[in-house]
Amino acid sequence: MERLSRRSFVKIAGAATGAAAIAAAPPVARAAIGEEGAVKTDPTTGVPEEPLVAYVRDARRGEVTVTSGTAEHTYRDRALVKKLLRAAGRKGE
């Protein structure tokens, strides 16, 4: 299983779309979401033509699936899952 670090994930997302859409299951959350300084904000653009989407596939196993173009990869990254869950206002599952 490939591993995707938070830093490389953000890098891929930025490179692929310029405005990455991160979709965890429910609507994205409340306030600041972590130690790296992510803050809640309003979208500055519409959905990009080819959105990059990441969703938590299995929180317990720390699995995140990323789709971009016609590609799809699933990574195990517990820290990223934790951050996404926090952004979604959900505790660890």
Partner 1 sequence: MSSHREAPGISQDPVADNADVYAFVSPDDPTTVTILTNFVPLQGPAGGPNFFEFGDDVLYSIFIDNDGDALPDITYQFQFNTQIRNEETFLYNTGPITSLDSPNWNKRQFYSVSKIRDRGHNGCKKQHHEQDGKGKVLGKNLACPPCNIGPRSTPNYDDLAAAAVHHLPSGETVFAGQRNDGFFVDLGSVFDLAALRPFQNLHLIPLPAAPGVDPLKDLNIHTIAIKVPIRMLTRDGSVPSDPMSAVSVLGIWSAASRRKVQVRDDNGEQPKGSGPWVQVSRLGNPLFNEVIVHIGDKDRWNAVDPIDDAGEFESYVNQPELARLLPVLYPGVFPNLAAYTKDRADLHAILLTGIPAGVVPGFQNFTGPNPADMLRLNVAVPPTVDKPNPIGLVAGDPAGFPNGRRVFDDVVAIELNAVAGLTIPLVDPSYTKDAAAGILTDGTGPGPDRYQDTFPYLGTPHDGFHTPAS
Q: Binding partner 1 by CB under 8 A: which of 10, 12, 29, 51?
A: 51
DSSP classification of residue 84: H
- We find the least distance from the C-beta atom of residue 35 to partner 1, in angstroms, to be 28
Q: Quick one: 25 or 32, whose CB is closer to partner 1?
A: 25
Looking at the DSSP bridge assignments, the partners of residue 74 are 65
- We find the least distance from the C-beta atom of residue 37 to partner 1, in angstroms, to be 25
Q: Are 55 and 63 in contact (CB under 8 A)?
A: no
16 CB burial (10 A radius; 0-12, 13-18, 19+): middle
Contact residues: partner 1, CB under 8 A: 21, 23, 46-53, 55, 67-72
